Structure formats: structure tokens, C-alpha cells
Amino acid sequence: MVELSAETRDAVAAARAGLPETVGGERVVFGFDGFVDRVRTVVEDRHGREAFETLDSLAELGARISASAASNSSLSFEWLQDDVRTGGHTCHLARAYATLGFDPVMVGLYGDPVRDVFAEEFADVPMHSLGDPGSTDAVEFDDGKLMLTESGSGTTLDWERVRDAVGVETLADYLDGASLLGVGYVSWIPSLPSVVDGLREEVWPLLDDPPERVLFDPADVRRLDEDVVFAARDAVERLDAVVDVTVSANRFETKVLAEHYAGRSAESLRADAELVAGTLDVTRYVGHGLHESVVVGDGTHAVRNPVTDDPALTTSSGDHFNAGLALGLLCGLDDAAAAVVGNALAGVFVRTGDPPRYDDVRDFVDDYEAKFE
């Protein structure tokens, strides 16, 4: 049994006490990406038409690629398509919040005209498309994930395109009275800082009842020029002057951001998150990992995360953590308790492969400590 810190136990107790009986009915708005995810399995050995063994180790795949390169030879793999689903920040968050009982609005890259895979899943969700979606081939291994992505129209998307495609007045109508705005990902939309600035300069002044909170997910910025990474920081800092902004990234992404913003990284998620937060002037910074989630706002809070040895699905677990984190904040919980809700929502998702209902999240929180036994 894992011994939980007093901080984790206190955060769980606060989440338990603070979560309301029901949630939902509020508008939440998500932008500005959109992906079609093809879930794949790599075949290691095929014995017949229906008989084969899968390659379940990313390290082994890497070793085979390295061995092939060392011998200056070609290498081929067979892979199978297991599923096709919509992905990206807007789709994962809208799906999660619709399941929780909220009223999501989506503004992103869904095709022109909107592709069937989006139109069918989100038939009841107001949706505005800004261009062609990206596409990702996602392979889950026991020791990691491999994701190969085409970015679609994301590389050219900027505020001018958003304004022309949707209109400032329409954006204002959606955001006025909304509880939450979620924005992602700068990793696939390099001009996303211009969109953040456009919202602040042209849309926010039109709002009588603006969102209480903004969630910003940069994702993996390794491929981006440093100028883009710093432009994203500057844009969210300016936005935080008019609304509570939470920036959230996973453990590895947090390390990369620390290297960019602080000039170095550390040995732990907690230390890396504090390095990022020390150079990022927003309400809170959150780093989430497999074993713990760290929130740096009014102080630093680290909350232990219960891990399962038999996950049904791990791709987009970070998006589901963000959904739960934002849910906790919308419910008025403190930072540490909100991280517990993030861990809980993601915990249900990775164990079932489906976004949870609110009752499922509360049940997970109620049983939180027992999941470490």
C-alpha cells in the first residue's frame, strides 16, 4: 500500500466535501484545434490471416529502428487500424463536458464542409470550423505512445482567420455567460498567441458576463521556435490581466517549458513546475504526471495520483485530467482539491476508455485512498 502524504489526504477530503451533488447546464467553449485520430497496433509476428502477435514495447520498436539504421538497411512494420475517433483539445474537452452535463461549444479545425466523423459525434454541439483538421496515427505501447501527426490547417491558423470565419460578434455571443474557455494547442497552432491576443483585445470588451476561467494547454512545444514559445507565454500573461488563466502541461512538457523559460530543468515534476511558474505570470501553473499532479498558484501543492496496471486507454488522459482540473475550479475548490478531481476524471477515463459521468468522478474521489491499496 502506498503511504499518502498529509497534503494528498487533505486535498482528497476537501474535494469530497466541496464537490456539489450535481453539475452541468453551463456553457463551456473550446478552441481552436481539431484532429482525426487513427488508433493503431503494430504487428510483431504474423502467423496467418487472423493469427498474429503485437509489438507492445516502444523501447523494442526504437531498438529495431536503431539497429536498422546502424546496418544501413530499410525497415518495415505492419500496423492495424483499431479505431477512428475525433481528437485534440476541443474534441476531448467537449466530449468530456458533454458527458458531465454541460453545454459545450466548439470552434476549431473540422473540415470544410465539416467532416462526417465530427458532425456525427457532435451533432448536438454548436460547431464552427476554421479549416482542415489534423490527423494522428496513435500507437499505444506498454511503455509509452508513438504519435505521428499531420497538422492540417493549424500551421496557418491565426486571429485573422478566426475572426473572418466565425466573427467577433458570434464569439462574443458564445463567451458571454460561459463558465470556461479552453484553448489548445500552440504546439500545432504556432500563431495561437495571436488568437489569444485577439480574444482579449476584440472580444473581451464586448462581454457583460465573461468566463470565470481560461484553461490553456500548450502541449509539446519541442518542435517550435523559441520565439513562438515565448510569444505564447506573453499572450497568456496579458490575458491573465483580465481573467483567471490556468496553464496546464504534462510532466515532459513541463520540463521542456522549464528549459525554455527558466533556462534549465530539474529532477522532479514539482521543481520543474515551480521553475515554469516562477517565469510565467498567470494565476496558476499545473504539471501533471503519471504519479502526481503539481499545482503552483498561491503556493505549491502536490497530489498523489492512483495508477492502474491495466489501463484501457491512455491517449488523451492529459486532456481528461485538464477537464477534471477545470471542473474542480469551476466548483469552487482550492487548487489541491481541483487537482484531485483532475486525477479522478482522468483515472476513470484510463480505466474504462470512456469519458466519465459526474457520478463516476464523485465515486472515484470517494474511493480515492483505497485505489492505492
d(CA 38, CA 82): 7
Cβ burial of 308 (10 Å; 0-12, 13-18, 19+) is exposed
Q: Answer for the pair 319, 249: CB distance below 8 angstroms, yes or no.
A: no
Task: Give me the residue spans of the domains in the chain.
Answer: 6-41+86-372
DSSP calls for 290-316 = SSEEEEEESEEEEEE----SS-S--TT
DSSP, residue by residue, 231-282: HHHHHHHHHHTTSEEEEEEEHHHHHHHHHHHTS---SSHHHHHHHHHHT--S
At 22, the pLDDT band (50, 70, 90 cuts) reads very high
**Could you tell me how many helices (H) and strands (E) the chain has, helices first?**
13, 14
DSSP state, 353?
S
The mean per-residue pLDDT over the stretch 98-126 comes to: 98
149-208 pLDDT, tens digit per residue, is 898 999 999 999 999 999 999 999 999 999 999 999 999 999 999 999 999 999 999 999
Tell me the pLDDT tens digit for each residue of 306-315. 999 999 988 8
Tell whether the model's pLDDT for residue 125 goes beyond 80: yes
Distance separating alpha carbons of residues 270 and 294, to the nearest angstrom: 6
CATH number of 6-41+86-372: 3.40.1190.20
Contact partners, residue 272, CB within 8 Å, separation at least 6: 251, 254, 255, 257, 258, 265, 266, 287
